[in-house]
Amino acid sequence: MPEMKFLVQWPDGREQSCYSPSLVMHDYLTPGAEYPVEEFVKLTSEALTVASDRVLAKFGMRCTSAAQQMEEIHEVGAGYATGAVRVLNMSGAELL
């Protein structure tokens, strides 16, 4: 199953490298685009849930890395009342 990394920049300039066990993130985020923090958290949560469901269907268990990534994004996102998250880069792990 192809996996991917995506690099984001939070409103204060902090960059975070994120992981998805599926390329489904391309269906939710666009490289170079900015999303209000709340929308970014919502979109990545939906995408990581879909990715984890794909892992469940293929391997019989959910992806704990996707769950951990979702939790980290929620925690960081909770620290911003306003602002936007910019998607700096998205790439499949096979390209890294």
- pLDDT value at position 21? 92
Residue-wise pLDDT tens digits, 26-82:
999 999 999 999 999 999 999 999 999 999 999 999 889 999 999 999 999 999 999
**pTM for this model (two decimals):** 0.90
Scored b (16 or more CB within 10 A) or e, 61-76 reads ebbebbeebbeebeeb
From 39, 21, 82, 65, select the one nearest 30 (Cα to Cα). Answer: 39
From 20, 95, 7, select the one nearest 55 (Cα to Cα). Answer: 20
CB 2 within 8 A of CB 91: no
How far is C-alpha 34 from the geometric centre of its chain's CA atoms? 13
